Amino acid sequence: MSLNKVTMPQVVFKQYRYKLTAYHQVFTSLVVLQLLALFFSFGGVMTNGGGGYGVDANLTTYSGDIIVIFTFLWGLINAMVVTTRAYREDDFIFVTNRQSQLFSNILFLVTASVIGGLTATLAGYLLRVILFWSSDQGTFAGMVGESSTVMSPVISIIAIACYMLMFCALGYLIGSLIQLHRLFIAILPVLAVGGLFVDNWMNGGPPAIISLFLFFVGETNMLLFLLKTLVTAVVLFAGSFVLLPQKEVRP
């Protein structure tokens, strides 16, 4: 019998370090998706035009929203992949149980969320720089953007990272449900589509998913926003832990 006493934090940290190294291809795919989103963003998200008295004007709105959306989808999908059997079996190269596996996965997804928030924000600024220097001044009258302060990039990184963590927690819960029973592959899309109509049918109000969207996006107080997103992520992760069956310690 070994005299070395291994604590839970030690096991979690070892699994976390292993996942950062073993799952490096996850971050490679993030870079590829963000570059693809950056390419799509060059076309603008909205174009308006008008003219009169021999003068024509076109207004094209550029935004980094496509980059952010692609980043959210990346987090959602990769969180689902982490719950698959192949990834779960990787943890058993250590002495592990369900608690250490969940905590190490959460640490990995938190890290992925921070990296996603940082790269998405930087990609948004990169889009502005490229558009500014590549625009044809003969047809491009000027560029108008929102005012920016020193804290703006920091707030953007924190906000995107918090949203990312929620999407990762949601993906982890969806993956846990699918691992519980394959029937959820068909049930979950039906529930998602139903959420677009349920409130309209019941009381004529906005759809449930839209109301949920506004609950988070419409929050202007940073502290309340952090509370909403972090509590939601914790609840979703807790639901994943309850759904997946407990596993005994394996060598």
Q: Give per-residue pLDDT as tens, 206-251.
A: 666 777 777 888 778 889 999 999 999 999 999 888 876 544 444 4
pLDDT of residue 241: 85
Lowest mean pLDDT among 45-49, 123-127, 191-195, 208-212: 45-49
Mean pLDDT of the chain, nearest integer: 78
pLDDT of residue 96: 62
Distance of CA 203 to the CA centre of its chain: 31
pLDDT band at 160 (very low <50, low <70, confident <90, very high): very high
Distance of CA 205 to the CA centre of its chain: 28
* Angle at 216 (CA atoms; ends 104, 170), nearest 5 degrees: 35
CA distance 46 to 2: 65
Read off the amino acid at residue 159.
A
Contacts by 224-233 with C-beta closer than 8 Å and gap 24+?
225/159, 225/162, 226/158, 226/162, 229/162, 229/163, 229/165, 229/166, 230/162, 230/165, 232/166, 232/169, 233/162, 233/165, 233/166, 233/168, 233/169
pLDDT of residue 51: 56
pTM over 0.85: no
Whether the pLDDT of residue 7 is over 70: the answer is yes
Q: What percent of the chain has pLDDT over 90?
A: 27
Q: What is the pLDDT of residues 50-109, one digit of tens each?
A: 555 556 555 666 677 889 999 999 999 999 988 887 776 666 665 566 777 888 889 999
Q: What is the mean pLDDT of residues 155-181?
A: 90
CB 95 within 8 A of CB 249: yes
pLDDT of residue 1: 47
CA distance 67 to 150: 22
